[in-house]
Amino acid sequence: MNALLLKEFNISLRLALPLMAALLAEVGLQVIDGVMLGYFGVHALAAGALAITISIVIIVSLLGITTAAGVLIAEAHATNDISRMTRYWQHTLYLIGIVSIPIMLLYAYANHIFIFFHQNPDVVKIAQLYLWGDLWCVPAVLAYIFCKEIFTCLEKTKIIMIVAAIALPLKVAINYVVIFGIFGFPKLGVFGIGLTGALVSWLMFLATIMYGLSEPTFAKILKAKLLPLENKIFMSIIKLGTPICLQGFFEATLFLVAAIMMGWINPIDQAAHQIVMQYVDLAFLLALGFSQVAAIRVAKFSAINDVASIKRTAQANALLTILISGCFVTIFVFAKMPLIWLFTHSREADPLLVTTTQSFFSVAAAFVCFDSLKLLTTCLLRGLKDTFVPMLLGLAAYWGIGISSAYVFAFVFHWEGVGIWCGIALGIFIAAVILWLRWRRQFNKLII
Question: Rg of the chain over CA atoms, in angstroms?
Answer: 21
Asked if the model's pLDDT at residue 346 lies above 60, the reply is no
pTM: 0.73
Domain count of the fold of the chain: 1
Asked if the model's pLDDT at residue 1 lies above 70, the reply is no
Instruction: Provide mean pLDDT across the span 232-251.
Output: 87
Distance (Å, rounded) from C-alpha 179 to C-alpha 133?
A: 12
Instruction: Provide mean pLDDT across the span 425-435.
Output: 93
Residue 345 has a pLDDT of 60
- CA 23, 189, 260, 35 dihedral sign is positive
Contact 356, 269 (CB under 8 A): yes
- DSSP output for 103-146: HHHHHHTHHHHHHHTT--HHHHHHHHHHHHHHGGGHHHHHHHHH
* Residue 148 burial (C-beta neighbours within 10 Å; 0-12, 13-18, 19+): buried
Q: Which domain holds residue 365?
A: 3-447
Contact 197, 140 (CB under 8 A): no
How many residues are listed for the chain in this entry? 448
Residue 412 has a pLDDT of 93
For 25-47, the pLDDT digits (tens) are: 766 666 666 666 666 667 776 77
For 172-214, the pLDDT digits (tens) are: 788 778 777 777 777 777 777 778 888 888 998 999 999 888 8
